[in-house]
Amino acid sequence: MEKLKNNEFNTEKLTGLAGALCACMGIDAPKCSEGVTQDLVDYVMKATNNEGVDRIVMYNPDAIGQWIYEKYYDKFKAFRDNAPYEQKFLTVFPPKTPVCFGSMYTGASPAVHGIQKYEKPVIRIDTIFDALKRAGKRPCIVAVKGSSLSKIFNERNMDYYFEAYDKEVVDKAIDIIKRDEYDFIVIYNQEYDDAMHRTHPKSLWSKAAIKRYNQSFERIANQVKESLTNHNTLLGCGPDHGVHREWYLLGQHGKNIPKDMNIVHWYGVYSKKN
Ligand SMILES: [Zn+2]
């Protein structure tokens, strides 16, 4: 992919993702959605002969910034192999987990969905999960217990699975994909975020977390290919924000700088077999 130039911000806003995912499924966007990432919709429509998709499986690995992807390009092979379409995004400010996921799944800016700092209240505005329910679709969230994604989209009439940590989340997601009972599955992992906050973005622990994210995405992708053969499925891999190291100390995020704000998402389409 094209290399990031120093101090250049991506232009495509993360608030366009929810509208794009809904367009790919042929349903109305959440009510406060501020745009549509049209390139992603075009990719999906082309890959499905304009049919769109009836399943979306989203893997959300926390805190992988674009520069980390570029620096450790070879360590992200499973992301690229299984989801070859790369979509650059500018995440929302401040680049904190609940702020970013709030915008990712409402299509709304932080001032509109209400989370503007590191806090985890239930979002009261319309979300993609509400939009899916109105269209008669079944969404679910599989997340690490206590994480932002285990809290901010709660209190909807939908299924939630909160597990001890990343591996348990992925195990549960594999089981859920096998059963094929949901139209839209969000799967959240956090090891890289934990590792870089405890150490720094390029530490051995952080690199091990990248490796495990890739292994987990590979497992999820393989299960999609095996179990969702009766569907057109969009498989996505979407981090929330990036990361930087503060004065050779710990890893952090929350600043309006390209390292924190620029992210890449990966998408792949798996068409039905019959
Ligand atoms: Zn995060």
Total residue count of the chain as it appears in this document: 274
193 CA → ligand 1 middle, Å = 6
Nearest to 142 by CA among 176, 106, 94, 92: 176
Asked if the model's pLDDT at residue 247 lies above 90, the reply is no
What is the DSSP pairing of strand 139-144 with strand 159-163? parallel
Q: Are 260 and 239 in contact (CB under 8 A)?
A: no
Give the list of residues 6+ apart from residue 120 with CB closer than 8 angstroms, or none.
Answer: 98, 148, 151, 152
217 CA → ligand 1 middle, Å = 17
| Interatomic CA distance for residues 119 and 97, integer angstroms | 9
82 CA → ligand 1 middle, Å = 23
194 CA → ligand 1 middle, Å = 9
48 CA → ligand 1 middle, Å = 32
Q: What is the pLDDT of residues 188-234, one digit of tens each?
A: 999 999 999 989 999 999 999 999 999 999 999 999 999 999 999 99
45 CA → ligand 1 middle, Å = 30
Query: In degrees rounded to 5, what are phi and psi of residue 225?
Result: -65, -35
Peptide bond into 95 cis (omega under 30): no
158 CA → ligand 1 middle, Å = 23
Q: What is the pLDDT of residues 1-58, one digit of tens each?
A: 555 566 799 999 999 999 999 999 999 999 999 999 999 999 999 999 999 999 999 9
Mean per-residue pLDDT over the chain, rounded: 96
Take residue 171 and report the two structure tokens written for it: 């195990």
The model carries a pTM of 0.96
Q: Among all chains, which residue has been given the structure tokens 């924190």?
A: 260
Q: Computed from CA positions of residues 106, 111, 114, 115, in that sequence, does the dihedral angle turn out positive or negative?
A: positive
How does DSSP assign 90-151, residue by residue? E--SS--HHHHHHHHTT---HHHHS--SS--PPP-S--HHHHHHHTT--EEEEEETTSGGGT
128 burial type by CB count under 10 A (0-12 exposed, 13-18 middle, 19+ buried): buried
